[in-house]
Amino acid sequence: MKKIYTGYTYSSLLKFAGWVLFILLLNLNKANAQTPSDAIMMKQKQSCVALIFDYGTWDQYWEGTELRSNATIATFKRYTYMPMIAIGLHDRLNLIVMTPYVETKSTQPNGGKFEGAKGFQDLSLSLKGEFLKKKVGEDLLELFTTIGFSTPMSNYLSDYRPYSIGSGTNEWSFRGIGQYKMQNGLYFRGTVSYLLRGTTEAERDYYYNNGSYYTSTMDVPSAWNYHAGIGIRLFDNSLRMEVLYEGLRSTSGDDIRAYNAPQPTNKVNFDQIGANAQYYFKNIKGLGLLVNYGQIFNGRNIGKTTSFSGGVTYIFSI
């Protein structure tokens, strides 16, 4: 098995850690952490850093639409460590930067005959803007849009499925977000995104995708992504809890062939339910904790994944 190099040195990692520490020492004001798909905004000159850990695992996967297990893979595990920062360029325009570090592997010694992979995945940049904020009686209607771009940070093997740490392609995302917030703290949010993806390079010069292709270039299917959530804010906005649905529908692609490994050209669909909570400390301004749970219950060419994540957020203003 070819060893995968990330191209990053301990020196560069220490510099990155020092940069994060510097941010955490700045002056703080209470606010909310945000992601590209929620309805939270940083005010101008206000920013939020987050350090998030995510763990996902599965021992069954959908080969096309057929759910099956694979003793060679056994129980698959994926660990993601994601630093991110959201910067308030304006009260209604934010920049979000994310740089996930991913590690994959299988259980040993009863299964998992392949070596996993690890490294920095993709650099993700998103601009989120709020273009409508309107009172509806005592309630509030908000509309947002996000434009994002991501590109691989390291020379990882995108065709090494399911152990690959990413799709190995550039991706543009175009997202619309709507939220209706009631006076009692209850809110409803919906998101629709289009993910425009390019091509990736495989370490082989032939593959099958509903026909034979004598090239190392693979098309990665674009996709529609959906989110829906019901949440509530309690204790003077210190606690935020949500129940969530997420769906993904690829616009093209093929199915995993029987007794073959998946590949970047596969048509990936899934439906997932989950919940998350975020708490902001009143006596430590700017500090927050978050937890999340997710379960894929329906899919196509994807693992039946159970995921857990947690992290810390910190708000500051310059």
Quick: pLDDT tens for 261-295.
Answer: 899 999 999 999 999 999 999 888 889 999 999 99
pLDDT higher than 50, residue 17: no
Q: Write out pLDDT tens, residues 122-142.
A: 999 999 999 999 999 999 999
| CATH code of domain 10-317 | 2.40.160.40
Cα torsion 39, 42, 47, 51 to 10°: value is -10
Q: Evaluate whether 162 touches 61 at the Cβ level (below 8 Å).
A: yes
CA distance 228 to 143: 14
Supply 11's token pair.
């020196």
Supply 208's token pair.
């099958």
pLDDT higher than 50, residue 32: no
**Inter-CA distances, 191 with 179, 243, 248, 252, Å:** 9, 14, 12, 21
What's the pLDDT at 110?
57
Q: Evaluate whether 83 touches 99 at the Cβ level (below 8 Å).
A: yes
Per-residue confidence band for 7, with pLDDT thresholds at 50, 70 and 90: very low
Q: Which candidate, 280, 290, 291, places its Cα nearest to that of 315? A: 280
Domains of the chain: which residue ranges?
A: 10-317
Better pLDDT: 262 or 36: 262
